[in-house]
Protein backbone atom coordinates (compact mmCIF):
# COMPACT_ATOMS: atom_id res chain seq x y z
CA UNK A 1 0.00 0.00 0.00
CA UNK A 2 1.22 3.46 -0.90
CA UNK A 3 0.81 6.91 0.63
CA UNK A 4 -0.01 9.82 -1.69
CA UNK A 5 1.40 13.22 -0.76
CA UNK A 6 -0.34 16.08 -2.56
CA UNK A 7 1.46 19.43 -2.51
CA UNK A 8 0.30 22.88 -3.44
CA UNK A 9 3.19 24.94 -4.85
CA UNK A 10 3.04 28.68 -4.04
CA UNK A 11 3.47 29.37 -0.31
CA UNK A 12 3.85 25.61 0.16
CA UNK A 13 6.78 24.15 -1.79
CA UNK A 14 8.13 27.66 -2.36
CA UNK A 15 7.85 30.39 0.26
CA UNK A 16 6.30 33.00 -2.01
CA UNK A 17 3.95 33.37 -4.98
CA UNK A 18 5.72 32.41 -8.22
CA UNK A 19 3.28 34.50 -10.28
CA UNK A 20 4.22 37.68 -8.44
CA UNK A 21 7.90 36.73 -8.04
CA UNK A 22 8.27 36.96 -11.82
CA UNK A 23 7.75 40.74 -11.56
CA UNK A 24 11.29 40.95 -10.18
CA UNK A 25 12.52 40.68 -13.75
CA UNK A 26 10.95 44.07 -14.57
CA UNK A 27 13.11 47.20 -14.10
CA UNK A 28 10.69 48.68 -11.56
CA UNK A 29 9.54 45.27 -10.29
CA UNK A 30 5.91 46.35 -10.70
CA UNK A 31 3.11 46.52 -13.27
CA UNK A 32 1.39 49.62 -14.63
CA UNK A 33 -1.89 50.37 -12.85
CA UNK A 34 -3.98 49.59 -15.93
CA UNK A 35 -2.62 46.05 -15.96
CA UNK A 36 -2.94 45.59 -12.20
CA UNK A 37 -6.55 46.67 -12.37
CA UNK A 38 -7.38 44.29 -15.23
CA UNK A 39 -7.64 41.30 -12.87
CA UNK A 40 -11.11 39.81 -12.36
CA UNK A 41 -11.77 37.57 -9.37
CA UNK A 42 -11.47 33.90 -10.32
CA UNK A 43 -9.66 34.71 -13.58
CA UNK A 44 -6.03 34.84 -12.40
CA UNK A 45 -4.69 32.71 -15.25
CA UNK A 46 -6.06 35.14 -17.84
CA UNK A 47 -4.44 37.96 -15.88
CA UNK A 48 -1.09 36.16 -15.88
CA UNK A 49 -1.31 35.76 -19.63
CA UNK A 50 -1.49 39.54 -19.93
CA UNK A 51 1.35 39.95 -17.42
CA UNK A 52 3.65 37.66 -19.39
CA UNK A 53 2.79 39.46 -22.64
CA UNK A 54 3.72 42.75 -20.96
CA UNK A 55 7.03 41.27 -19.76
CA UNK A 56 7.74 40.14 -23.31
CA UNK A 57 6.86 43.60 -24.63
CA UNK A 58 9.56 45.05 -22.37
CA UNK A 59 12.16 43.01 -24.24
CA UNK A 60 12.85 40.70 -21.31
CA UNK A 61 14.18 37.38 -22.56
CA UNK A 62 13.03 33.92 -21.45
CA UNK A 63 16.53 33.38 -20.06
CA UNK A 64 16.19 36.46 -17.85
CA UNK A 65 12.76 35.30 -16.64
CA UNK A 66 14.16 31.84 -15.85
CA UNK A 67 17.09 33.30 -13.95
CA UNK A 68 14.71 35.29 -11.75
CA UNK A 69 12.35 32.36 -11.14
CA UNK A 70 15.23 30.12 -10.08
CA UNK A 71 15.94 32.47 -7.14
CA UNK A 72 12.58 31.95 -5.43
CA UNK A 73 13.22 30.37 -2.01
CA UNK A 74 11.91 26.99 -0.94
CA UNK A 75 9.83 26.97 2.22
CA UNK A 76 11.85 26.04 5.31
CA UNK A 77 12.26 22.27 5.62
CA UNK A 78 10.82 21.57 2.17
CA UNK A 79 14.13 20.36 0.74
CA UNK A 80 14.35 17.77 3.53
CA UNK A 81 10.77 16.66 2.88
CA UNK A 82 11.30 16.25 -0.86
CA UNK A 83 14.61 14.46 -0.31
CA UNK A 84 12.89 11.97 2.02
CA UNK A 85 10.11 11.39 -0.51
CA UNK A 86 12.60 10.83 -3.34
CA UNK A 87 14.38 8.17 -1.23
CA UNK A 88 11.12 6.35 -0.46
CA UNK A 89 9.44 6.16 -3.87
CA UNK A 90 8.48 2.53 -3.30
CA UNK A 91 5.97 3.61 -0.65
CA UNK A 92 5.30 7.30 -1.35
CA UNK A 93 3.82 8.91 -4.44
CA UNK A 94 3.94 12.70 -4.66
CA UNK A 95 2.05 15.05 -6.96
CA UNK A 96 1.78 18.83 -7.20
CA UNK A 97 -1.56 20.51 -7.93
CA UNK A 98 -1.00 24.22 -8.45
CA UNK A 99 -2.53 27.37 -9.87
CA UNK A 100 0.92 28.48 -11.07
CA UNK A 101 2.08 27.23 -14.49
CA UNK A 102 4.08 24.38 -15.97
CA UNK A 103 7.13 26.42 -16.98
CA UNK A 104 7.63 28.15 -13.63
CA UNK A 105 7.24 24.92 -11.65
CA UNK A 106 9.54 22.97 -13.99
CA UNK A 107 12.25 25.64 -13.79
CA UNK A 108 12.06 25.93 -10.02
CA UNK A 109 12.05 22.19 -9.29
CA UNK A 110 14.99 21.61 -11.64
CA UNK A 111 16.92 24.45 -10.00
CA UNK A 112 16.51 22.76 -6.62
CA UNK A 113 17.59 19.37 -7.96
CA UNK A 114 14.60 17.82 -6.20
CA UNK A 115 12.34 17.24 -9.19
CA UNK A 116 12.68 13.44 -8.84
CA UNK A 117 10.51 13.58 -5.72
CA UNK A 118 7.48 14.70 -7.75
CA UNK A 119 5.75 12.12 -9.94
CA UNK A 120 3.36 14.48 -11.74
CA UNK A 121 2.50 18.17 -11.82
CA UNK A 122 -1.05 19.33 -12.51
CA UNK A 123 -1.05 23.02 -13.34
CA UNK A 124 -1.85 25.57 -16.04
CA UNK A 125 0.09 24.74 -19.23
CA UNK A 126 2.54 27.37 -20.44
CA UNK A 127 4.83 27.73 -23.44
CA UNK A 128 6.87 30.32 -25.33
CA UNK A 129 5.43 31.50 -28.64
CA UNK A 130 7.32 32.42 -31.80
CA UNK A 131 7.91 35.93 -30.46
CA UNK A 132 9.54 34.58 -27.32
CA UNK A 133 6.60 35.58 -25.14
CA UNK A 134 5.29 33.16 -22.53
CA UNK A 135 1.64 32.19 -22.88
CA UNK A 136 -0.50 30.52 -20.22
CA UNK A 137 -3.86 28.81 -20.57
CA UNK A 138 -6.36 27.29 -18.14
CA UNK A 139 -5.67 23.75 -16.96
CA UNK A 140 -9.22 22.58 -17.66
CA UNK A 141 -12.86 23.62 -17.63
CA UNK A 142 -15.14 22.47 -14.83
CA UNK A 143 -18.52 23.10 -13.23
CA UNK A 144 -17.40 23.65 -9.63
CA UNK A 145 -18.68 26.99 -8.37
CA UNK A 146 -16.23 26.96 -5.43
CA UNK A 147 -13.06 27.15 -7.51
CA UNK A 148 -11.38 29.53 -9.99
CA UNK A 149 -12.52 28.98 -13.57
CA UNK A 150 -9.20 27.46 -14.63
CA UNK A 151 -8.71 24.77 -11.99
CA UNK A 152 -10.73 22.66 -9.56
CA UNK A 153 -8.18 20.85 -7.42
CA UNK A 154 -10.76 18.39 -6.10
CA UNK A 155 -11.59 17.30 -9.64
CA UNK A 156 -7.88 16.76 -10.41
CA UNK A 157 -7.35 14.77 -7.22
CA UNK A 158 -10.45 12.62 -7.75
CA UNK A 159 -9.44 11.68 -11.27
CA UNK A 160 -5.85 10.94 -10.32
CA UNK A 161 -6.75 8.70 -7.37
CA UNK A 162 -9.39 6.93 -9.47
CA UNK A 163 -6.92 6.30 -12.31
CA UNK A 164 -4.28 5.03 -9.89
CA UNK A 165 -6.73 2.69 -8.19
CA UNK A 166 -7.83 1.26 -11.53
CA UNK A 167 -4.21 0.70 -12.54
CA UNK A 168 -3.43 -1.18 -9.34
CA UNK A 169 -2.19 1.51 -6.95
CA UNK A 170 -4.88 2.14 -4.34
CA UNK A 171 -3.70 4.64 -1.73
CA UNK A 172 -3.75 3.65 1.90
CA UNK A 173 -3.70 7.31 2.87
CA UNK A 174 -3.66 10.74 1.22
CA UNK A 175 -1.81 13.64 2.84
CA UNK A 176 -2.89 16.97 1.33
CA UNK A 177 -0.67 19.99 2.01
CA UNK A 178 -1.65 23.55 1.09
CA UNK A 179 -2.25 27.09 2.21
CA UNK A 180 -4.84 28.90 0.11
CA UNK A 181 -8.56 29.20 -0.44
CA UNK A 182 -8.37 27.05 -3.57
CA UNK A 183 -7.04 24.19 -1.40
CA UNK A 184 -10.32 23.93 0.50
CA UNK A 185 -12.37 22.20 -2.21
CA UNK A 186 -10.12 19.09 -2.49
CA UNK A 187 -10.21 18.56 1.28
CA UNK A 188 -13.86 17.49 0.96
CA UNK A 189 -12.64 14.49 -1.07
CA UNK A 190 -10.49 13.19 1.78
CA UNK A 191 -11.49 10.31 4.06
CA UNK A 192 -11.13 9.79 7.83
CA UNK A 193 -7.79 8.04 7.44
CA UNK A 194 -6.45 10.88 5.29
CA UNK A 195 -4.75 14.06 6.50
CA UNK A 196 -5.17 17.68 5.43
CA UNK A 197 -2.31 19.97 6.41
CA UNK A 198 -3.05 23.72 6.22
CA UNK A 199 -0.20 26.17 6.64
CA UNK A 200 -0.33 28.03 9.95
CA UNK A 201 -1.69 31.56 9.64
CA UNK A 202 -2.82 31.17 6.02
CA UNK A 203 -6.27 31.13 4.43
CA UNK A 204 -6.81 27.36 4.37
CA UNK A 205 -6.26 27.07 8.13
CA UNK A 206 -8.80 29.81 8.77
CA UNK A 207 -11.38 28.27 6.42
CA UNK A 208 -11.02 24.83 8.00
CA UNK A 209 -11.34 26.34 11.48
CA UNK A 210 -14.53 28.11 10.39
CA UNK A 211 -15.98 24.85 9.07
CA UNK A 212 -15.12 23.12 12.34
CA UNK A 213 -17.22 25.63 14.28
CA UNK A 214 -20.24 24.76 12.14
CA UNK A 215 -21.48 21.82 14.20
CA UNK A 216 -22.23 18.76 12.15
CA UNK A 217 -20.50 20.01 9.01
CA UNK A 218 -19.47 16.82 7.17
CA UNK A 219 -17.40 18.42 4.40
CA UNK A 220 -13.99 17.72 5.98
CA UNK A 221 -13.69 14.19 7.32
CA UNK A 222 -9.89 13.99 7.36
CA UNK A 223 -7.57 14.65 10.26
CA UNK A 224 -6.32 18.26 10.30
CA UNK A 225 -2.69 18.96 11.19
CA UNK A 226 -1.38 22.52 10.94
CA UNK A 227 2.15 22.99 9.58
CA UNK A 228 4.71 25.80 9.70
CA UNK A 229 7.65 24.15 7.95
CA UNK A 230 8.45 21.18 5.78
CA UNK A 231 9.81 19.51 8.92
CA UNK A 232 6.26 19.40 10.35
CA UNK A 233 5.01 17.73 7.17
CA UNK A 234 7.90 15.26 7.22
CA UNK A 235 7.16 14.29 10.81
CA UNK A 236 3.47 13.74 10.03
CA UNK A 237 4.42 11.63 7.01
CA UNK A 238 6.93 9.47 8.90
CA UNK A 239 4.47 8.69 11.70
CA UNK A 240 1.89 7.49 9.17
CA UNK A 241 4.15 5.20 7.18
Q: Which residues contact 3 (CB under 8 A, 6 or more apart)?
A: 91, 92, 93, 171, 172, 173, 174, 175, 237, 240, 241
Residue 241 DSSP class = -
**Alpha-carbon gap, residue 241 to 234, rounded angstroms:** 11
pLDDT tens for 71-82 read: 999 999 999 999
**Alpha-carbon gap, residue 225 to 241, rounded angstroms:** 16
Enter the pTM of the model: 0.94
**Alpha-carbon gap, residue 28 to 30, rounded angstroms:** 5
- Among 97, 105, 103, which residue's Cα sits nearest to residue 55? 103
Q: Which of 10, 93, 183, 194 is catalytic?
A: 10
Active site residue 15: no
| Domains of the chain and CATH, by start | 2-15+73-124+140-239 (3.40.50.1000)
pLDDT tens for 54-67 read: 999 999 999 999 99
Q: Which of 8, 93, 179, 183 is catalytic?
A: 8
Active site residue 10: yes
Q: Tell me the pLDDT of the chain averaged across its residues.
A: 94
Q: How confident is the model at residue 216 (pLDDT cuts 50, 70, 90)?
A: low
pLDDT at residue number 44: 86
Amino acid sequence: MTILVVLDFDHTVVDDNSDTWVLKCLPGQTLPDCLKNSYRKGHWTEHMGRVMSYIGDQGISPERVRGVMETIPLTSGMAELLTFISKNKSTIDCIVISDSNSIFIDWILKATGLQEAVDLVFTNPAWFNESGFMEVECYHSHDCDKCPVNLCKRRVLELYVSDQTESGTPYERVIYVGDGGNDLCPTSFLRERDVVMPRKGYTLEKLLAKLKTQEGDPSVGAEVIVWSSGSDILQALKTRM
